[in-house]
Amino acid sequence: MVWMALVMAGLCEMMGVYMISKYNKTKTIKNLGLLIFAFTLSFAGLAYAMETLPMGTAYAIWTGIGAAGGALLGMLFFNESKDWRRMVCIVLVLGAAIMLKLLS
């Protein structure tokens, strides 16, 4: 259950990063509300996971999901470069997060 909460927190982190970019383009109360909501859920899920998991592992996985997801969202929705080297780096980040889970 804790791992599910951590993954959900990472996905909320991705949504929060997406909403930052969206809010910068269109400053509406809806976008601001979704931004705050996403980060609130993200931090709450991380805090819950850290009650059981080691801080370093939980934070690294949460950050990895957010960073890799943010890069993918940028490629999909904001016309950022889809260069193969960027894709390799995303795979490395996700691979490192998976290895941390397997080792903890």
What confidence tens digit (pLDDT) does each residue in 76-101 have?
988 888 999 999 988 998 888 788 77
pLDDT value for 90: 87
Contact 11, 69 (CB under 8 A): yes
**Mean pLDDT per segment of 10 residues, for the chain of length 104 residues?**
94 94 94 97 97 91 90 89 90 84 76
**Degrees (nearest 5) of the Cα angle 74, 21, 31?**
130
pLDDT value for 56: 87
80, two tokens: 């950022």
Residue 38 contacts by C-beta under 8 Å, 6 or more apart in sequence? 12, 13, 15, 16, 19
pLDDT value for 102: 80
How many Å apart are CA 45 and CA 75, to the nearest integer?
26
pLDDT value for 40: 98
pLDDT value for 96: 84
pLDDT value for 44: 97
pLDDT value for 39: 97
CA count, 13 A, side-chain hemisphere, 53: 26
Q: Is 89 helix (H, G, I), strand (E, B) or coil?
A: helix
Task: Quote the pTM value.
Answer: 0.84
